[in-house]
Amino acid sequence: MKALTLQHEKCTGCSLCEVICGLAHFQENNPKKAAIRIARKFPEPGTFEIHVCNQCGRCQEVCPIAAITEKDGVYKIDPEKCDFCGVCGGECPLQVLFTHRELSYPLKCDLCGECAAVCAAGAIEGRG
Q: In the chain, where are the structural domains located?
A: 7-121
Split at pLDDT 50, 70, 90, the class of 2 is low
Gap between the Cα atoms of 115 and 127, Å rounded: 9
pLDDT at 128 over 70: no
| Per-residue pLDDT, 3 | 83
Which DSSP letter does residue 4 get?
A: P
* Three-class SS state of 50: strand
pLDDT at 127 over 70: no
> Quick one: how far is CA 118 from the chain centroid?
15
**pLDDT tens readout for residues 16-49:** 999 999 999 999 999 999 999 999 999 989 999 9
Cα–Cα distances in Å, from 13 out to 19, 50, 87, 98, 104? 12, 9, 30, 19, 28
The arithmetic mean of pLDDT across residues 84-110, rounded, is 97
> Which CATH topology does 7-121 take?
Alpha-Beta Plaits (3.30.70)
